[in-house]
Amino acid sequence: MAAIETSTGERESGRLERIGAVMLSVVTTPLGFIGTVLVLLVILTAIFAPLLAPYAATAINVKERLADPSLAHWLGTDQLGRDLLSRVIIGTRTAMSVALVSLAIALAAALPLGLIAGYGPRWLDAFLILIFDSFSSLPMIMFGLAMVVLLGAGLGTVILVIVLYCIPSYARLVRSQVLGLKSLDFVKAEQAMNAGTARILFVHLLPNVIGPLLILACLDLSTIITLEAGLSFLGLGVKPQVPSWGNILSDGFAVIRKTPVPVLAGGLPLILATIGFTFFGEALRDALDPKLARRRSA
């Protein structure tokens, strides 16, 4: 028993060391360091948003509408007198909540679909690929409009649109990884020992496809945040009174002839979040694939 516990502890220690080495490789590159700082800034802002916001994000003060930036309101106020800094901070939580929930649901659905497509019979693979391609070919804005007509605008509709947008690409990635892995010796050895399909899929194949899938998901976080902001900007996302970067941009464009501050307040955090997750994802991919990093630098 002691030997088993020691072996388990050594494996956990080795896993933590590998994670530490990967993160060290990420933060030691210039773009990776910038991405890590921006990602931490976004995440910490989302976690502590209620504590950081100086005012209630939905508090209306018509007397101070469209106020310029000042010590009382660092980013000024919008057309209803709401503090823009508070709305941007609470909007960070909205963006991250939608992105992480959508990503978790999409990954949970795409993993089994990709495993089944890659390891199952050819007719099932062809059927699933047809479904994936059908969803991938849909224009996202038109698809979002159709979903809003059917279900109405709201947070649930935004999450559903993003999930259906992400599942095909994640499932195709898992499928391609499984197709390459199932011909390797360790899988054939399990098949020769009459191992069950579930054991092969979830014990041997799943751990090997998680890494590339998480890298793709990290890279897609910026796209998902931008998609949520775009849908909200068009009035297809979260309700107008909910603080979100897309709603701030939409309100800002309505008064852009009077002041550009609301547009800048809504656009700057969106740009920083996009840059941060993109840089961090690229650095993480290079850290896990040294060949790609060397080829890119060459």
Neighbouring C-beta atoms of residue 220, cutoff 10 Å: 23
Structural domain range at position 242: 2-297
Residues 6+ apart with CB under 8 A from 194: none
Per-residue pLDDT of the chain (298 residues; tens, 9 = 90+): 444 444 445 555 656 677 777 778 788 888 889 999 999 999 999 999 999 999 988 888 888 888 888 888 888 888 888 999 999 999 999 999 999 999 999 999 999 898 888 888 888 888 888 888 888 887 777 777 788 778 877 788 888 888 988 899 899 988 888 888 777 667 667 666 766 677 777 777 777 788 788 888 888 888 889 888 888 888 877 887 888 999 999 988 888 888 898 899 989 999 999 999 999 988 888 887 655 545 555 5
Instruction: Output b/e per residue, 245-257; b: 16+ Cβ within 10 A.
Output: bbbbbbbbeebee
CA dihedral of 273, 274, 275, 276, whole degrees rounded to 10:
50
Residue with token string 């516990």: 5
Evaluate whether 82 touches 57 at the Cβ level (below 8 Å): yes
Total H helices, total E strands in the chain: 13, 0
- What is the model's pLDDT at position 257? 87
- What is the model's pLDDT at position 218? 85
pTM: 0.83
**What CATH number does the domain containing 94 carry?**
1.10.3720.10
Query: Measured between alpha carbons, how far is 238 from 150 in angstroms, rounded to an integer?
Result: 15
Q: How many domains does the chain have?
A: 1
Evaluate whether 125 touches 178 at the Cβ level (below 8 Å): no
Neighbouring C-beta atoms of residue 228, cutoff 10 Å: 28
Residue with token string 């994670």: 19
Residue type present at position 279:
F
Evaluate whether 85 touches 53 at the Cβ level (below 8 Å): yes
Residues 6+ apart with CB under 8 A from 62: 80, 81
- What is the model's pLDDT at position 235? 80
- What is the model's pLDDT at position 13? 60
Query: Measured between alpha carbons, how far is 156 from 141 in angstroms, rounded to an integer?
Result: 16
Helix (H) or strand (E) holding 131: helix 122-136
- What is the model's pLDDT at position 25? 79
- What is the model's pLDDT at position 273? 93
Instruction: Show the tokens assigned to 147.
Output: 């979903």
CA distances from 135 to 43, 143, 171, 174, 239 (A): 31, 9, 12, 17, 26
Query: Measured between alpha carbons, how far is 173 from 152 in angstroms, rounded to an integer?
Result: 32
Neighbouring C-beta atoms of residue 8, cutoff 10 Å: 10
Query: Measured between alpha carbons, how far is 31 from 278 in angstroms, rounded to an integer?
Result: 9
